[in-house]
Amino acid sequence: MRATPYVSPVRIDIERRDDGTLLLTNPHPLRDGFANAVAPLPHWAATLPDRLWLAGTDPVADRMTGRSSGWRSMTYRQGWSRVQALARGLLAQFKPGDVIAVATGNSLDHALLTYAAMLAGMVIAPITPAYALKARDPRRLHEALALVGARAVLVDGAGIDGAATRAAAWVADAGLITLTTGPAAGLRRAMPLQGLFQETGAAPDPAAIKAEAPAKYMLTSGSTGSPKAVIITHANLARNAAQIRSTFDPELEAGLWPDGIIMANHLPWSHSLGGNAVFHMLTTAGVSLWIDPGSPTPEGLPATVATLKQVRPNYHLTVPLGWALLAGALESDPELAPAFFERLSIMQYGGASLTQDVYQRLQASAVATCGEEITVAAGYGATETAPTVCNVHWPNRRMGLVGLPVPGLSLKLVPVGDRMEARVKGPGITPGYLGEHQKTAEAYDHEGYYLLGDALKFAEPDSPEVGLAFDGRLSETFKLANGSWVPVGTVRLALVAGLGGLISDAVICGEGADGLTALGFLNLKVARDVAGDDSLDLAALSTHPAVIEAANTRLAACMAGKPATQAVIAIRLLPDHPSLEDGEITDKGYLNQARCRQNRNAA
């Protein structure tokens, strides 16, 4: 297995209480971090001024011209200069404490506005761009802007079909910052972003930023009710980044990666995994991020493949669906594997569990290409935890682990029935929800531990150092008609694995019924292989006789001999992907089982 810069050996300290509660801490020392979320930029601008910070395409220009404008890049010195210039301009229009929302995709402009707003003492509020670009109802964007109290919102300004314009007009005194420089007809108080840069004058001092000040308001998906705005302070971001960095050995890292981490990533910055665990963590580490214009979808895969061929990263992270799609591309594109594996040392997933089947396909491609396996890491956390609570920071061949706690926090496992509820306390944990005092109070236990709402378990009870595994959402269990509880998380993983890659995820159904059924989201590449037709879309594949026969055959084989609480007796293949707008994907990136069942009860 290719060398990694992770610390070793794996250690975990466990305090056992009389009531069965466990307190888990990582004895590895916590490395020093920065004082606030902005401080890494001037530091790296001074120490590694010519290192690449960010590279990205210009999606707005590309869409307006109908052709690719190529890559733009910024070094740390250039980026810091641009951030200071934009902070001056923001302070000419707004005041410290104002909230600036961003309703666009990942881009260099998005990055500059994020750090400039924080430098100016303002709060950045990234909102899923689907609310502005794809939403059927502009009220979703309006509600998000109203929730965070946005004074302005960055929008595309072209091709938004008026949704952002109408929504912003409903927010008192809200202004629009656009990515277009031409006339923006109908946009109230529209100001092009490029017009806000002020190249001269005194810039704010990053040392004056208070650690406890809000840096971001990040929206939850509303999987347990209406969406909430999570307060993420500068201390939360800075300390959680330090916790993640503490799982790397500085000497091993320097020897393996002399130029630091080089990553191409498409995870959205409106979610904590992409915005904090990737974007901010890489900035904290002073390394390089290529903003992949693709996405973990069949439609976004070609752009991701093209990016990976050009960048040749040494670290790659995406969600399980992204890995499943990439596994198919590695198998079918002879040019991709040599480029992808040339200098890759770590593959990582987050948001849900990667199946062993996809893992084996990835390793088969790695071994065939470079003669050795590459470790696969994983992480676990929540928007409220900034986001990392646990990660797999050791060479690993076992999928389904969430790892062990990162240094500097305490993970509490509390017995709830036959499962262990996860709670966490540490410097990365949010102080609460914006304007929601009651919900904030309910989010913590009497010892100040944040209630994650998940169950975790040791993968091997007699060997805690092997790591923890996800054991389902506590709110997503249900009973069959006979009163027996269904372990939804366990059933889902077994079903996805048992269908051999045919589905990328599943919704388990059967509350109050005599047996379990499921809804399956198809893996496009595998389903097309089964159907023998690469032209079919998901809708056609969901009713294709060969695909249905394969699903039923594999279902019968993998469920044979299982008890009624774990045996899925029938599956319905769905004609589309889960919907972010409809809340079918949680803020942690995995399926909201209850919301999917509610939305698709006619399926």
Altogether, the residues listed in the chain come to a count of 603
End-to-end CA distance of the chain: 44
- CA-angle at 222, arms to 137 and 235, nearest 5°: 115
pLDDT band for 167, please (50, 70, 90 cuts). Answer: low
- State how far the alpha carbon of 59 is from the alpha carbons of 260, 276, 399, 436, in Å: 27, 22, 35, 36
Cα 270 to Cα 129: distance, rounded to the nearest angstrom: 8
**From CA 509, how far away is CA 584, in angstroms rounded?**
15
Coil vs helix vs strand at 192: strand
CA angle 396, 399, 403 (to 5 degrees): 65
- Tally of CB atoms within 10 A around 3: 12
Q: Tell me, what's the pLDDT at 580?
A: 62
Paired tokens of 63: 């869409």
* Per-residue model confidence (pLDDT) at position 229: 96
* Structure tokens, 251: 């000497």
What is the identity of the amino acid at 46? A
In whole angstroms, what is the distance from residue 32 CA to residue 275 CA? Answer: 21
Q: Is 72:293 a contact under the CB 8 Å cutoff? A: no
Is there a contact between 275 and 76 (Cβ–Cβ < 8 Å)? no
Helix extents (H) in 560-592: none
| Low-confidence winner among 142-156, 325-339, 371-385, 456-470 (lowest mean pLDDT) | 142-156
Q: Please, which pLDDT band fits residue 166 given cuts at 50, 70 and 90?
A: low
CATH numbers and ranges of domains, the chain = 13-34+231-472 (3.40.50.12780), 69-208 (3.40.50.980), 477-599 (3.30.300.30)
DSSP state letters, 484-540: -EE-HHHHHHHHHHHTTTSEEEEEEE-TTSSSEEEEEEE-HHHHHHHHT-TT--HHH
The count of other CB atoms within 10 Å of the CB of residue 118 is: 27
* Range with top average pLDDT, 73-87, 146-160, 213-227, 502-516: 73-87
Task: List all residues 6 or more positions away from 157 whose beta carbon is below 8 Å from its beta carbon.
Answer: 60, 176, 178, 179, 180, 184, 187, 190, 192
Q: What is the pLDDT of residue 587?
A: 45
- Give the pLDDT score at 551: 97
Cα four-point dihedral sign 360, 366, 372, 378: negative
Q: What is the CA radius of gyration of the chain?
A: 23
Tell me how far apart the alpha carbons of residues 603 and 308 are, in angstroms, rounded to a whole number. Answer: 37
Q: How far is Cα 327 from Cα 348, in angstroms, rounded to an integer?
A: 13
Question: Among 14-28, 57-71, 521-535, which is the least confidently predicted range?
Answer: 57-71
26, 406 contact by CB (below 8 A): yes
Asked if residue 599 has pLDDT above 50, the reply is: yes
Residue 78 pLDDT exceeds 70: yes
DSSP H or E segment with residue 465: none
Give the pLDDT confidence score for residue 185 in this predicted structure.
42
Percent of the chain with pLDDT over 90: 67
Q: Residues 278-293: pLDDT tens digits? A: 999 999 999 999 999 9
Query: Given a cut of 70, is residue 433 above it in pLDDT?
Result: yes
Decide if 426 contacts 409 (C-beta within 8 A).
yes
Q: Which of 164-168, 175-179, 421-425, 500-504 has the lowest mean pLDDT?
A: 164-168
Q: Look up residue 504 and give its two tokens.
A: 């990328």
Say whether pLDDT at 275 is over 90.
yes
290 strand-pairing partners: 55, 264
Structure tokens at 316: 């790659």
Pairing status of strand 99-102 against strand 72-75: unpaired
From 76, 80, 116, select the one nearest 98 (Cα to Cα): 116
Q: Give the tokens for residue 288.
A: 């390089």
User: Distances in Å between the alpha carbon of 480 and those of 454, 483, 485?
Assistant: 21, 5, 7
Q: How many CB atoms lie within 10 A of CB 234?
A: 23
Q: How far apart are CA 176 and CA 581, in angstroms?
A: 22
Alpha helices in 246-355 (DSSP H): 250-256, 272, 281-285, 301-311, 320-332, 336-341
- Among 31-35, 67-71, 365-369, 397-401, which stretch is predicted with the lowest mean pLDDT? 67-71
Residues near 375 by beta carbon (within 8 Å), at least 6 away in sequence: 1, 2, 4, 345, 346, 347, 394, 395, 396, 397
Are 291 and 106 contacting, i.e. CB atoms less than 8 angstroms apart?
Answer: yes
Q: Is the pLDDT of residue 69 over 50?
A: yes
User: What token pair was written down for 54?
Assistant: 């960010």
So what's the pLDDT on residue 531? 97
pLDDT band at 590 (very low <50, low <70, confident <90, very high): low
* Model confidence pLDDT, tens digit, residues 445-481: 999 999 999 999 999 999 999 999 988 788 777 889 8
pLDDT tens for 197-231 read 999 999 999 999 999 999 999 998 654 456 799 99
Q: Give the whole-angstrom CA distance, residue 255 versus residue 345.
A: 12
